[in-house]
Structure 1
Amino acid sequence: MSTLVVKKINEIKGTDFFAIREEIKDLSWNSVAESPWKADFPYSPVVGFQIAHTDSSVILHYAVKEEFLKAQYIRSNENVWEDSCVEFFISLDNKESYYNFEFNILGTGLIGYGSAVKAERKRLAAGMIDAVNTYSAVCKVDGQKKWNLILQIPKTIIGTTEWSGRRLHANFYKCGDKLPNPHFIVWNNIDHPTPNFHLPEFFGDLIIE
């Protein structure tokens, strides 16, 4: 099982992507590199992420290199997983329930909450999703397409600001269901016959500093 330490940092002061990237530049990088369904979906983009927390928020920075970029969805709770999309699932109650944060390259978001039983999961209102600040950058250099997304997630969305010293459970993903080369890449590996991120039994551990 994958484990990482989530460092405690000062509140973020920057108000754009480049300023915040500079503030978090010393955080360690982690890879989203497991491909559980590689036989059916052989393409794997290159994905890394940084994560930290402050008194008020979770800071998550994804860096992606992939062959195709897609950004169709512009409204909260639309099918962002069909675009170039990164995801963060986290449980505060030992995997009984969890939040799924899904954001495309534009910063358009979908957030759900509940158990792994689909009928019991609920989508958060658009106003709550809009409380997540997003900062993105896209470039193409020497034919390589790269994009970055920083999420500033208020801890109040996830239910509590009391994080320090806890062991939480989470997984990190990259997908693109409707890209020319669909893919489903994970941080902590999943043992399941078909693509499915909603399996909290395969969440890894976050040790909160």
Structure 2
Amino acid sequence: MKITILMAMAVFLSPANKHYMGGQKDKKLIVTEIEHDGEADLVEVSALLEARTELNAIDVVNWDAFPYAPKVEFRIARNKNDIWLKYYVTEAHILAKNTEPNSAVSKDSCVEFFFDPLGDGNYYNFEINCIGTVHLAYGPGRHQREFVDPEVIRKHIRTASSLGDRPFSEKKGGHSWEMTVIIPAAVMTFNKGLSLEGSKAKSNFYKCGDAMSKKHYVTWNPIATEDPDYHRPEYFGDLIFE
């Protein structure tokens, strides 16, 4: 097995080309490639991300009404035309009631990856609760979403959580969990033939729990809205795929 790995790192845009939203700098994440002969399983993906990529924090508290901030970090890389992600979460409570694709996973303990592959304001909202249930839709805003077919989600997206895949009611007392995710470009059915290599995209990464005792909304790139709203592509940071 041949493995050639470059690292992914998050940096702020340099003073020469920075721009501002809400008075704050946009983040830029360079997503480099992990080359792997054959199809990697989730255990291999987890290990490769763990060994060869840098941690990025989802730690921005944008809204005073929701001050609680669990510790959330992630790693990201590209393998061929797949996006590899690994999340690390430490939080006071965990909750996972939703088990069907495109159900209301944001009510559970949920990590999210909003991805605008063309940088044109149309984005996919990958929402994944802590047992790996995926909600996925596409469009230009909160009220103009089209769901990706649940069978396409089941076929293409692979997840593995340290909490397993069975639902449970809210558990208190402090918990840590990890989630590995493989997202092939093929699941982005509104962008047929999408190639990640060399592309420039827009994105944000989130953690939430709408129905949890300690409701929270933390982000990777800042959002300058009055109330919590993740469906704001104007506040996405930059993803550069090598």
Check whether TM > 0.5: yes
CA distance in structure 1 between the aligned counterparts of 2:67 and 2:121, rounded to whole angstroms: 32
Matched, 1:150 2:180: yes
Q: Deviations over 1:150-170 (max 9, x none)?
A: 110111122344222222100
Which residue of the partner structure matches residue 71 of structure 1? 96
Q: Percent identity?
A: 33
| SS of residue in 1 equivalent to 2:46 | helix
Deviation at 1:27, TM superposition (A): 0.6
Between structure 1 and structure 2, the one with the greater Rg is: 2
Match of 1:21 among 21, 46, 51: 46
Which residue of the partner structure matches residue 59 of structure 2? 33
Pairs within 5 Å for 1:27-176: 27-37=53-63, 39-116=64-141, 118=143, 120-130=144-154, 131-138=156-163, 144-158=174-188, 159=191, 160-176=193-209
Change (3 A) 1:41 1:98: same
Q: Normalization by structure 2: what TM-score?
A: 0.80
Matched, 1:179 2:209: no
CA distance in structure 2 between the aligned counterparts of 1:122 and 1:13, rounded to whole angstroms: 30
CA distance in structure 2 between the aligned counterparts of 1:70 and 1:13, rounded to whole angstroms: 32
Change (3 A) 1:14 1:93: closer
| SS of residue in 2 equivalent to 1:190 | coil
- Tell me, yes or no, if the aligned pair for 2:114 and 2:204 is still in contact at 8 Å: yes
- Root-mean-square deviation (CA), in Å? 1.7
CA distance in structure 2 between the aligned counterparts of 1:144 and 1:121, rounded to whole angstroms: 34
CA distance in structure 2 between the aligned counterparts of 1:100 and 1:16, rounded to whole angstroms: 21
* Unmatched segments (≥5 aa) in structure 2: 1-25, 165-172
Matched, 1:197 2:230: yes
Partner amino acid for 1:64? Answer: V
CA distance in structure 2 between the aligned counterparts of 1:20 and 1:97, rounded to whole angstroms: 28
CA distance in structure 1 between the aligned counterparts of 2:112 and 2:140, rounded to whole angstroms: 17
Q: Deviations over 1:42-92 (max 9, x none)?
A: 110000000111113110111000000001001111110000000001112
Q: Normalization by structure 1: what TM-score?
A: 0.92
CA distance in structure 2 between the aligned counterparts of 1:153 and 1:95, rounded to whole angstroms: 20
Partner amino acid for 2:91? Answer: E
- Tell me, yes or no, if the aligned pair for 2:81 and 2:196 is still in contact at 8 Å: no
CA distance in structure 2 between the aligned counterparts of 1:32 and 1:152, rounded to whole angstroms: 19
Partner amino acid for 1:203? Answer: F
| SS of residue in 2 equivalent to 1:165 | coil
Q: Deviations over 1:158-201 (max 9, x none)?
A: 23442222221000000000110000110000000011100000
Partner amino acid for 2:184? Answer: P
Deviation at 1:21, TM superposition (A): 1.8
Number of aligned residue pairs: give it.
203
Deviation at 1:117, TM superposition (A): 5.3
Change (3 A) 1:83 1:93: same
Deviation at 1:122, TM superposition (A): 0.6
| SS of residue in 1 equivalent to 2:66 | coil
Change (3 A) 1:95 1:184: farther
Q: Which has the higher contact order (CA 8 A, sep 6+)?
A: 1
* Unmatched segments (≥5 aa) in structure 1: none
- Tell me, yes or no, if the aligned pair for 2:114 and 2:123 is still in contact at 8 Å: yes
